């Protein structure tokens, strides 16, 4: 699919009955980036369940 991945993540998590959604954020600026126009923020705005944001470290593949 093309477009915004946030609704797809939310729909799939709800369809699967996920207890936790884990999403990457970018490094130490991750929390600041979270409040920017990020996928994690969009998911958090739509998903009523628990989320875990995991910082990506330098050198990790996209």
Number of domains forming the structure of the chain: 1
Q: Is residue 49 part of a domain?
A: yes
HEC assignment per residue over 19-38: CEEEEEEECCCHHHHHHCCC
- Does position 1 have pLDDT exceeding 90, yes or no? no
17, part of any domain: yes
Supply φ then ψ for residue 27, to 5 degrees: 45, -150
pLDDT at 51: 94
Q: Does 25 fall in a domain?
A: yes
Q: Tell me if the pTM is above 0.75.
A: no
User: Which helix (H) or strand (E) is 51 found in, with range?
Assistant: strand 50-56
Q: Name the residue range of residue 26's domain.
A: 5-56
Residue 43 within any structural domain of the chain: yes
61 within some domain: no
Please report the pLDDT score of residue 28 as a whole number: 55
Residue 62 within any structural domain of the chain: no
Task: Indicate if the pLDDT at residue 6 is higher than 60.
Answer: yes
Whether residue 18 lies inside any domain: the answer is: yes
Give per-residue pLDDT as tens, 12-62: 999 999 999 999 877 656 566 666 668 888 999 999 999 998 877 766 555
């Amino acid at each position: 699919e093309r477009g915004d991945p946030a609704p797809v993540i939310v729909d799939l998590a709800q369809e699967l009955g996920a207890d936790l959604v884990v999403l990457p954020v970018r490094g130490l600026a991750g929390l600041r980036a979270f409040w920017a126009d990020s996928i994690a923020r969009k998911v958090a705005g739509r998903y009523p369940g628990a989320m875990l944001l995991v910082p990506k470290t330098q050198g990790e593949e996209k």
